Structure 1
Amino acid sequence: MGMARRFHVIRGGRGGRGQGGGLRPLVLFRAYSIGELQREELTYYNVRFNWYRLDRTEPVAPWEHLVADFYSLDERLQKKAREEVLRYLTEEEVWELRLYLREHHGLEVIAEEVSLPILSPRGPFWGGEKTVFHFLELSERPDYSLPFRVWGYYSLAGCLCTPTLEAGCRFLEKALAHLKVKKAVGRKDLEGVVKAIYLQEGLYVRRRGPEDAD
């Protein structure tokens, strides 16, 4: 997993201090990290690890403060709302998780404030209906020391991996040669360009295979 040290909180639209500079209301956060993942012989880059509270059984505030019109929702939507809200982290929990991940895994924690009350429950996992998720049993690790349990989930769909990174670097090398650029460009710089283009534009290079033949 990639090394990172910065903690970043992104505020939501309806958070903030009250009028007159009063105390902030309760806030909840979606917490995630971006890192690398090794699976068998492949390395996946810029994987998003979504962290969630596993063992919360009671809400941190009355349901009507957390979910709009909670008691007017049908049973199915109430279940989705409960599963979603109970997995969010409080500010204190985010900070504890941040310290643990920074010390033991070198990961940055990015925390997005949840706009409360939630208007449209989405359920516990964010992604398309056909998205395949994998899970990280973080709190089951021997070095885990937090007083609450946190797991993570992630998807490898759309992630840049070793073959596409290699193909992208080779493409850039050939492009520079065709353009007769004489200045040597190091491998690290080429990889940085490939990753940046992928992050910014969603573009990557794939080698042509037999199935691509006319």
Structure 2
Amino acid sequence: MRKLAKHLVAHAAAVIAPLRPTQARAMVAELDHIESASDAFDFALGCVVAAYSQRMSVLAALAFSARLGTALAASLFGLLHIFQPWSNVALKMRLLADPGFTACGTRCESWVRIVGDLPLSHWLWQQGVMAAFGALHLVAAVLLLRGSIGRLAWTSMMVAVLALAMPAFGGGGITFPAIYILLIAMMLALGHGLAKLEHWNFTRR
């Protein structure tokens, strides 16, 4: 029962931490001073109820919905960047083994020609960069959903640095880096705005 109480308090602390980090830490610290397992369990249940009662409201629900929707979109964006470039690598390897391979016929003629003209190292490099972008967006999605705005800011900076480095390493022009920076900046701004909104909604009651 003591272990379950610890899990419940940890969950309650995670729920309320984005708005009241001091109170979240106090919950965890208080549990360590409760000797009785049954009292600890009762305290843990009270923490969970208190945490959700403080977070729940129509405005909070809307803010969470916006946070969840954005996080899901960022996750899909990240997964696309991790898996999609492998098609170029796979096609290049197939062309190296069979130069006459035509993929999907005339519909893919330009794609096959572009992939065939560039070396395998180019597509492997592209896959590595895209996978890094994808992984960072997945991390950003998790941080946004958890309300960890400080860490989200650091992740956004990493995305921006990687995007700015792309042209220097032969990654094309500035269009795609600008798009990546704009998207992650919008995500950070949304996360910061939602955190402020949730904090205001919490303190006004």
Q: Which structure dedicates a bigger proportion of its chain to strand?
A: 1
Q: Highest CA radius of gyration, 1 or 2? A: 2
Higher RCO (Cα < 8 Å, 6 or more apart) = 1
The normalised TM-score by structure 2 is 0.22
Q: Which structure dedicates a bigger proportion of its chain to helix?
A: 2
